[in-house]
Amino acid sequence: MALYLPRVIGHRGAKSYAPENTLESIHTAADIGVKWVELDVKLTKDQVPIIFHDDTLERTTNGSGPVAEMTYEDIRQLEAGSWYGESFAGVKIPTLEEALDVIYERDLGFNMEIKPCPGREKETAEVALDALASSWDNHSNLLISSFSHVSLEVAYDMAGDWARGLLLEKDLPENLRDLVEFFDPKTINFDADTEESAIEELLDLELPLVCYTVNDPMKARRLVNLGVDGFFSDCPDVIEENLPKAH
Ligand code: G3P
Ligand code: MG
């Protein structure tokens, strides 16, 4: 099935308007007209897939320490909204299943970024993909990505016909073409700080290029002029409004 990819994907939901990677952030993205959201998935100590970005709790919750040492019960006690704003007090870290329920309810596409805690690359991918497999059926609206090659290989083995995105850091790997051949990605998801000469190298791959994270409309326009196809943005509505009108 062909992948339908919008020009702008809401990063961690809609991170500029609600606490990242929460159900509120997904709802907010839908409210402002976003078609797809990107969310980060990792595992609790007892193997529950949750939506969370960092390896530790400090930045976005009232807890502390490594996520990999917390059970789901521990995670449930935490609060993940007050750091962002008092109106979000009481917001919880969602499980992948809870996030999927909102994604279905709001009819959104989904980029699941597998974001394993160090050393948990294989099991994070296995558990997250299992959870998705039991409920997701529209594969034109789903992209699986990861910086972890171990996680991406699990995706290839477990769900070979689901679209994969190869996530790249700003310094491109020397074996880029080998990686593309091996993982057979449908998209290349690259860093907004990538040098222009390296973006030219990416264009030569002749795959859709999706750039993270772009919140400046001028930058988005410059990248579109270079040949970039889409963006992850914390303020996806602002980027969408300022791109040249789609035909
Ligand atoms: O998937 C695109 C982007 O989210 C990758 O970086 O650190 O925001 O997960 P990060
Ligand atoms: Mg991410």
Instruction: Give all domains of the chain, ordered by start, each with its CATH number.
Output: 8-242 (3.20.20.190)
C-alpha atoms less than 13 angstroms from C-alpha of 39 in its C-beta half-sphere: 34
**Span 211-230, pLDDT tens digits:** 999 999 999 999 999 999 99
**DSSP per residue, the chain:** -PPP--SEEEETTTTTTS-TTSHHHHHHHHHTT-SEEEEEEEE-TT--EEE--SSBSTTTSS--SBGGG--HHHHHH---STTT-GGGTT--PPBHHHHHHHHHHTT-EEEEEE-PPTT-HHHHHHHHHHHHHTT---GGGEEEEES-HHHHHHHHHH-TTS-EEEE--SS--TTHHHHHHHH--SEEEEETT--HHHHHHHHTT-S-EEEE----HHHHHHHHHHT--EEEESSHHHHHHHSPPP-
If you take atom 2 of ligand 1, which residue's CA is the nearest one?
Answer: 212
Report which of residues 135 and 211 the model is more confident about: 211
Q: Which amino acid is it at 59?
A: R
Q: Is the CB of 145 under 6 A from ligand 1?
A: yes
Q: Is the CB of 234 under 6 A from ligand 1?
A: no
**DSSP per residue, 98-119:** HHHHHHHHTT-EEEEEE-PPTT
The pLDDT assigned to 124 comes to: 98
Q: How far is the CA of 139 from the centre of ligand 1 (A)?
A: 21
Q: Is residue 247 very low, low, confident or very high in pLDDT (cuts 50, 70, 90)?
A: low
Q: Is the CB of 189 under 6 A from ligand 1?
A: yes
Atom in ligand 1 nearest the alpha carbon of residue 115? 9
C-alpha–C-alpha distance, residues 219 and 211, integer Å: 11
**Span 30-77, pLDDT tens digits:** 999 999 999 999 999 999 999 999 999 999 999 999 999 999 999 999
Q: Catalytic site residue 11?
A: yes
Q: Is the CB of 38 under 6 A from ligand 1?
A: yes
List the one residue out of 32, 55, 27, 51 whose CA is nearest residue 41: 51
The pLDDT assigned to 185 comes to: 98
The pLDDT assigned to 219 comes to: 98
Q: How far is the CA of 204 from the centre of ligand 1 (A)?
A: 23
Annotated catalytic residue within 53, 139, 149, 247: 53
Q: Is residue 139 very low, low, confident or very high in pLDDT (cuts 50, 70, 90)?
A: confident
> What is the rounded end-to-end Cα distance, in angstroms, of the chain?
23
Average pLDDT of the chain is: 97
- The share of the chain scoring above pLDDT 70, in percent, equals 99
Q: Catalytic site residue 53?
A: yes
If you take atom 1 of ligand 1, which residue's CA is the nearest one?
Answer: 113
The pLDDT assigned to 1 comes to: 73
* Ligand nearest to the Cα of 234, by number: 1
Q: Is 12 left (phi over 0), alpha (psi -120 to 50) or beta?
A: left
| pLDDT surpassing 70 at residue 94 | yes
**Span 119-134, pLDDT tens digits:** 999 999 999 999 999 9
